[in-house]
Structure 1
Amino acid sequence: MHLASYLGLLRDSERSLGDAFRMVAEHHQDEPDVEHLCKVLGDQATNHSGALQSVVRRYGEQADSEPQELEAAEFGGTREGGVGLLRDLQDLYALASFVDITWTVVAQAAQALRDQELLDVIDAGEQETTQQLTWLRTRIKQAAPQALIAAR
């Protein structure tokens, strides 16, 4: 069974996403909504990783360096100014999308296994990841005109 590799991928992806949200929060303190919500969403992602612990005890977990590599590729460092904020939000969106589809893959296995505990963890994680993506999409739409047209 390869579920252990995907549980490792999911936990590592959530940890990477949490770190990335916190990095953006710290770097964009001049945007109070970004700072606050990125901290909240970063903690949320880290909590998702912890919520999988009981399932990992049953199925095991294989560590995966791909999420850290993806985070490193996306976040070689945060950027400055309005365009920098826009790009940082896009990078968060890419990472959150990766997490979202990984939840979907693990959910398919949980359904096949009829594992209600795992399905409950997945349901909560998927809902919050969807909220993260929704906020990111909205904030990107808000930042784009200012960064691309109004800024000099």
Structure 2
Amino acid sequence: MNLVTYLGLAYHAEQTFADSLRTVGQGHAKHPDVLFTCQALAAMSDEHVERLTPIVQRYGASSGKDVKEPERLHADGLAEVRSGPVGLLRDLQDLHVLGTLVQTTWTVVFQAAQALRDDELIELCEHASGQNSRQLSWLNTRLKAAAPQSLIAA
């Protein structure tokens, strides 16, 4: 069964997203809304990783960290932030791309969970997808707010 591969992808994608949110929040801390919202959004992804771990174990891996993903099935996170207004805009855009990877991964896993009638995994997928929608919504709103200042006024 290849589901464990996608469970590993969900695990890694959520962890990368959380780490990247924290990096951007700290790197753009002069914008308090970015700092505190990124911390809150990262906590959501941390919860998803925590809840996913026993499910990954149930499907045969010792932890989400141990799942071997095929080449190019993962995304690199943001290790550092860019400076200035355009830097914030690009960092938010990169976070949105990572969040979209998380979203599509949960969509795929949800389809498998339904086919398997795995109620625990279905509930996690629904919960994580709902929170991920909130994460993406904030990123999209913050991108819209930052764009005029970054692209015209700066």
Tell me if both proteins adopt one fold, taking TM over 0.5 as the criterion: yes
Which structure shows the bigger proportion of residues in helix conformation? 1
User: Partners in 1 of 2:83 and 2:75 — Cα distance?
Assistant: 21
Aligned-pair CA distance for 1:76: 5.2
Aligned-pair CA distance for 1:53: 1.8
Consecutive unaligned residues in structure 2, runs of 5 or more? 62-66
Counterpart of 1:78 in structure 2 is 81
User: Partners in 1 of 2:60 and 2:134 — Cα distance?
Assistant: 28
Across the aligned residues of Structure 1 and Structure 2, the Cα RMSD in angstroms comes to: 1.5
Q: Give matches, 1:8-87, under 5 Å.
A: 8-61=8-61, 62-64=67-69, 66=72, 70-72=75-77, 75=78, 77-87=80-90
1:134 aligns with one of 130, 133, 137: 137
CA contact (8 A) 1:13 1:99 kept: yes
Q: Give matches, 1:112-131, under 5 Å.
A: 112-131=115-134
Say yes or no: does 1:95 pair with 2:98: yes
Give the stretch that moved more between structures: 7-16 or 51-60: 51-60
Corresponding residue SS for 1:48 = helix
Counterpart of 1:2 in structure 2 is 2
User: Partners in 1 of 2:111 and 2:150 — Cα distance?
Assistant: 40
Give me the TM-score of the superposition, normalised by structure 1.
Answer: 0.92
CA contact (8 A) 2:23 2:79 kept: no
- Percent identity reads 45
**What letter is aligned with 2:32?**
P
User: Partners in 2 of 1:114 and 1:78 — Cα distance?
Assistant: 42
Say yes or no: does 1:109 pair with 2:112: yes
Q: 1:54 to 1:23 in 2, by over 3 A?
A: same
**What letter is aligned with 2:139?**
L
Corresponding residue SS for 1:30 = coil
User: Partners in 2 of 1:96 and 1:90 — Cα distance?
Assistant: 10
Give me the TM-score of the superposition, normalised by structure 2.
Answer: 0.91
Aligned-pair CA distance for 1:47: 1.3
User: Partners in 1 of 2:8 and 2:46 — Cα distance?
Assistant: 14
**What letter is aligned with 2:117?**
R
| Count of matched residue positions in the alignment of Structure 1 and Structure 2 | 148
User: Partners in 1 of 2:104 and 2:93 — Cα distance?
Assistant: 17
**Runs (4+) off by over 4 Å:** none
CA contact (8 A) 1:12 1:63 kept: no
Counterpart of 2:153 in structure 1 is 150
